[in-house]
Amino acid sequence: MSLEIGVLGYRFMGKAHANAMARLPMFFPEAPDVERSVLVGRDEDALEDAADRLGFDAISTDWAEVVDEVDAFYNLGPNHVHAEPSIAALEAGTPVFCEKPLAPTLEDARAMADAAREAGDDVPAGCAFNYRFVPAIRYAKRLLEDGELGEIRHVRGRYLQDWLVDPEAPWSWRNDEELAGSGALGDLGAHTVDLLRFLVGDDDLAGDIDRLSGHLRTFVDERPVEGEGGETRPVTVDDAYSAQLEFENGAMGTLEASRFATGHKNDHAIEIHGSEGSLKFSLERLNELELLRRNENRGYETILVTDADDPYVDHWWPPGHVLGWEHTFVHENYEFLSAVADGGEFEPSFEAGLEAQRVLAAIEESDERGEWISLE
């Protein structure tokens, strides 16, 4: 029997997840069978067109009619529609996979995590932090868990894009606090915060973030509305943020993201330094991990994470036949849908989404108050 999937959202993320579901039977034959049953949105014509292209059986303009009719509900809409439909689905006992950031506000994220807790462990509620599913990131996690880097001292993460560097770039929901919650902070920073928590958040590594200081900046306050003959709308979110972190074990962290980093399109990079070694990862070279072992005194070596025994790689091509960004969606869909079929748990969960949101909210609070904020 196939799992029937309802998906809210048919643009960028709708396409990424629909593509992932379509790839599963070919490359992950052990994944449960899924049917792209119903695509949800507001505009019927656009929905019809998208459903055709993305392989959905039906469309609906009312998520409330869908959430308890399907075996899993994907919430891939803008941030301001994350909470209500996801909570309704969980209340109906339907597993939910929600795009990041979990919600526009900490309050919404808390309500979503509460709903997930109440739904119980056999109703997976996942937050789609896809970068956890890069093979090189899984490889890095294994090294860290095996203690290869020793005591963690420095953790660095930056996520740079440049699609708003032109002051005439059009206004979108991503520029609006009501709709998005925050700007570069939530959209990009959420990924980095989650990735660092995934990699070094264990108690025997850096542990939780204890306290932080944050700084936000909006460079362009108003943007033209596309096709509206000169009308502009205010930008009410950050274009860039930076933060300093202190971890439980005393490690220091620095974070940064921007939509104004000229020339950088999707440059997400992580660096970790421990007493025994260092590692570097960049999304722009996502098949590689750079590792330095202090005792070997040879500088960084580049590990190509494309071997059959590397995480997820055996499902794809022979060694050296590299993977890309879209594969991360296939991997996370495989894990999420397997959890749905087995009634098992999925990580990153809504709880992980909430933990990331707590960090984002503290960064905003620190910026507003001009002081360090404790997360305890």
Residues that bind ligand SOE (CB under 6 A): 161, 187, 266
Q: Cα 343 from chain centroid?
A: 23
Q: For the CB of residue 297, give the shortest distance to ligand SOE in the complex, in Å.
A: 36
Q: For the CB of residue 15, give the shortest distance to ligand SOE in the complex, in Å.
A: 11
Count Cβ neighbours within 10 Å for each residue of 220-256 and write b for 16 or more, e otherwise. Answer: beebbeeeeeeeeeebebbbbbbbbbbbebebebebb
Rank residues 131 and 247 by Cβ distance to ligand SOE and give the closer one.
Answer: 131
DSSP 8-state symbol, 264: -
Question: Residue 234 and residue 214: Cα distance in Å, rounded?
Answer: 23
Q: For the CB of residue 145, give the shortest distance to ligand SOE in the complex, in Å.
A: 25
Rank residues 187 and 238 by Cβ distance to ligand SOE and give the closer one.
Answer: 187
Task: List 212's β-bridge partners, or say none.
Answer: 245, 373
* CA contacts within 13 A on the Cβ side of 226: 5
Q: For the CB of residue 11, give the shortest distance to ligand SOE in the complex, in Å.
A: 10
Among 108, 126, 179, 128, which residue's Cα sits nearest to residue 358? 108
Q: What is the dihedral of CA 119, 124, 126, 130, to 10 degrees?
A: 180
Rank residues 6 and 78 by Cβ distance to ligand SOE and give the closer one.
Answer: 78
Rank residues 176 and 187 by Cβ distance to ligand SOE and give the closer one.
Answer: 187
Phi and psi at 24, nearest 5°, equal -55, -50
Rank residues 159 and 247 by Cβ distance to ligand SOE and give the closer one.
Answer: 159
Q: For the CB of residue 280, give the shortest distance to ligand SOE in the complex, in Å.
A: 19
Give the position of tokens 């580049």. 302
Q: For the CB of residue 146, give the shortest distance to ligand SOE in the complex, in Å.
A: 28
Q: For the CB of residue 110, give the shortest distance to ligand SOE in the complex, in Å.
A: 22
Rank residues 266 and 302 by Cβ distance to ligand SOE and give the closer one.
Answer: 266
Rank residues 317 and 325 by Cβ distance to ligand SOE and give the closer one.
Answer: 325
Question: Residue 240 and residue 147: Cα distance in Å, rounded?
Answer: 34
| Consecutive H or E run containing 256 | strand 252-258
Question: Residue 103 and residue 110: Cα distance in Å, rounded?
Answer: 9
Q: For the CB of residue 174, give the shortest distance to ligand SOE in the complex, in Å.
A: 7
Spatial contact of 313 and 325, defined as CB atoms under 8 Å apart = no
Residue nearest to ligand SOE (CB): 187
Q: Given CA atoms 107, 202, 74, 78 in this order, what sign does their dihedral have?
A: positive
Q: For the CB of residue 161, give the shortest distance to ligand SOE in the complex, in Å.
A: 6
3-state secondary structure of 170: coil
> Rounded to the nearest 5 degrees, what angle is found at the Cα of 330, between the Cα atoms of 160 and 41?
80
Among 73, 108, 114, which residue's Cα sits nearest to residue 92? 73
Q: For the CB of residue 163, give the shortest distance to ligand SOE in the complex, in Å.
A: 6
